[in-house]
Chains A and B, each alone.
Chain A
Amino acid sequence: MRKIDFHTLGPLIALIALVVLGASLNSAFLAPANITNVLARSAFIGMIAVGMTFVITAGGLDLSVGSMAAFLAGITIIAMNVLVPNLGTHWGTILIGMGVAVLGGLAAGYLNGALVTKARIEPFIVTLGTMGIFRSLVTWLADGGTLSLDYALRTLYRPVYYGGIGWITWPIICFALVALLGEWMMRHSRFGRHVEAIGSNDRVARYSAIDVNRVRLLTYVLLGLLVGLAVVLYVPRLGSASGSTGVLWELEAIAAVIIGGTALKGGRGRVWGTVMGVLILSLIDNILNLANLVSPYLNGAIQGVIIVLAVVLQREKHAAGER
């Protein structure tokens, strides 16, 4: 039993080790401003990764989330820019914009889910396709350039990313709420148990009278919703979207999920682990920037090593726990 506990705690231990490393390398690391920065910038990938945990646990995969985020940011900005002359610069316009992002996310997630469950196409292929579609659409909408939010509206919207309660900014609060809810859903709700059951063995799940397709579809819709929420927080940060928004977010989210101990083949989901995975990835970036440890050319290599190492360590512990 104690070994299994240790396995669950693995990502947490890695995270603590990184924090200690960061603090010993640079005193600015533990300053509230730096902590706020790191947590807030983790929030986008973090919320997406929580949704991704459900999709992967149910045996699926979604490669389209980065492009989807860029596309949703694009239509959100366009919607708000169109509405400004009619509705004026106030929170109503922003709320409609947020609505566009969230509804767009639900629709995009439904599209992925329906293609996987109703048209019975492999999730890898479906989302590889929609990844290209969303990315091209945002480039087309932006005419190859950048879509920028109306300046006055942006000034009003800005506090949604930068404001908050003291140094705990809204993205951090949203990320925390999403993580808590996600953990609760995975551990204690019927939906979460169904997701794990389908991921371990969908045939058995079907014989147990679980509506497999409906649950799978819902995981993609949930992920779409969370991408929409991430966009609501992303747009006020820079007030712009372009073809290069959200590039590789899907892989970062998948990496975070795997580092956190969720099995890529499905059946075992760990939302807390995912949160740790996201923080680990952001901290590596942050520490490399703060510390000048290695040539910046090698940042990607360091991240790669840590991702592989995290998974290798977990595999061994996991195997030991099962024995």
Chain B
Amino acid sequence: MKRRSLMQGAAVAGLLAMTWGSAALAQEGEKTVIGVAIPSATHGFMGGLNWHAQDTIKRLGAAYPNLEFVLSTSGDSAKQVNDIEDMMATRDIDALVVLPFESEPLTAPVKAVKDAGKFVTVVDRGLSQEGIEDLYVAGDNTAFGRVAGEYFKANLKPGAKIVVLRGIPTTLDNERVEAFQKALDGSEIEILDMQHGNWNRDDAFNVMQDYLAKYPQIDAVWAADDDMAVGVLEAIAAANRQDQMWVIGGAGMKEIVKRIMEGDKQLPVNVTYPPALISSAIEMTALHFVSNAPMTGRFIIGSQLITPENAEKFYYPDSPF
């Protein structure tokens, strides 16, 4: 499937700035209720996403008195479906912002919301049927893998050996890894091994310890996630091989971004996959109701390379992630 960004980040930023001042223009009378359904904070990235969602809701609630938000966090798909049904039945929402826990089980319930004439925004994980949502906001998993792969290709000598830690087996993880491998095509960099660290610090620690025991030469590690990078770094430190390899994580955890800012040799760069994408989705959905700006289509947030030079821009000290 080909993704087209109908709106560019800069354009949206401009729009936001414009509508900021016109908050007072929001229509009088009935309140518009926006439901937000996201997975609960079970790991670092989702924790960050939850924080950004709450932060955005607080901010928008203050800026637009006639907007009301209902937030639900769910630990699994079934609960998320229940939450959405409850929102429809008891809160009479006018719009739904949903980050589907899984694509398949959520498709029919979200379609029911759409069929009831509500505005639907789908975030990050697409539904399994096209054309349901009014607005689709997502990070770019292909770019996430590609940007990392290109950095490896540009910064390693031919014949270099690397290891990869994969996330929880999902389409999302497959997209990233495929793009990463494709970016390395044509270079003489050898991927020694790819095992699942499940986006978990402890699992990544164990997998990395085993890599270190197995391979005498490792030049770089693609940890593909900052939680996993923390476990990997610890395993490398325990084996006393800090000088032999660098590590690229992903998603821009604040502790990791801080170390990049400080020029840590072990963590040269990072690739973004911002948990704040939920803020973009909520803001744009809100704008649909309070402004005349068109807010439908697909909005893909690119994955950028965080380097020591630009790291400050990506550093959110207050976020838990």
A binding-site residues for B, Cβ under 8 Å: 26, 28-29, 31, 33-34, 37, 41, 139, 142-146, 148, 162, 237-238, 240, 242-245, 247, 285-286, 289-290, 292, 296-297, 299
Contacts and interface: CB of A to CB of B under 8 A. Distances in A.
10 contacts: A26-B214, A41-B205, A139-B42, A145-B320, A238-B201, A242-B43, A242-B47, A289-B206, A289-B214, A290-B213
B42 A143 contact: no
B169 interface: yes
Contacts of B209: 37, 41
Contact of B211 (A146, A238, A289): A289
Nearest to B216: A28
A237 B51 contact: no
B194 A289 contact: no
Interface string B204-241: 01110111111000000000000100110010001100
Which of A41, A243, A285, A289: most chain B CB closer than 10 A?
A289
B46 interface: yes
B194 A296 contact: yes
B166 A243 contact: no
Contact of A243 (B42, B194, B230): B42
Interface string B35-74: 0000011111011101100000000000000000000000
Contacts of A139: 40-42, 47
Given A144-B48, A145-B44, A296-B194, 8 more contacts: A37-B209, A41-B205, A41-B206, A143-B320, A144-B40, A145-B319, A238-B202, A238-B231
Contacts of B202: 238, 245
B169 A243 contact: no
A244 B42 CA distance: 6
B193 interface: yes
B205 A144 contact: no
A29 B207 CA distance: 14
Consensus secondary structure, chain B interface:
helix
B214 A145 contact: no
Closest 3 A-B residue pairs measured CB to CB?
Answer: A145-B320, A144-B41, A144-B47
A148 B42 CA distance: 16
A290 B214 contact: yes
B198 to A, nearest CB: 9
A146 B234 contact: no
B234 A145 contact: no
A245 B47 CA distance: 14
Interface residues of B, number: 38
B283 interface: no
Contacts, number: 94
B210 A144 contact: no
A238 B43 contact: no
A30 B166 CA distance: 26
B195 interface: yes
Contact of B47 (A33, A34, A143): A143
A162 B214 CA distance: 20
B196 interface: yes
A237 B43 contact: no
B141 interface: no
A214 to B, nearest CB: 36
A144 B230 contact: no
A148 B195 CA distance: 26
Contacts of A292: 193
A243 B195 contact: no
Which of A31, A142, A144, A237: most chain B CB closer than 10 A?
A144
Contacts of B166: 296
A289 to B, nearest CB: 4
A143 B239 contact: no
A19 B40 CA distance: 41
Interface in B160-178: 166, 169
A145 B206 contact: no
Contacts of A31: 213
Contact of B210 (A145, A238, A245, A286): A286
Contact of A33 (B41, B193, B239, B320): B239
B172 to A, nearest CB: 15
Contacts of A286: 210
Contacts of A29: 213
Nearest to B209: A37
A257 B202 CA distance: 22
B205 A243 contact: no
Contacts of A242: 43-44, 47, 201
B255 interface: yes
Contact of A162 (B195, B238, B320): B238
B262 to A, nearest CB: 12
Contacts of A299: 196
B200 interface: yes
A33 to B, nearest CB: 6
Nearest to A291: B214
A33 B238 CA distance: 10
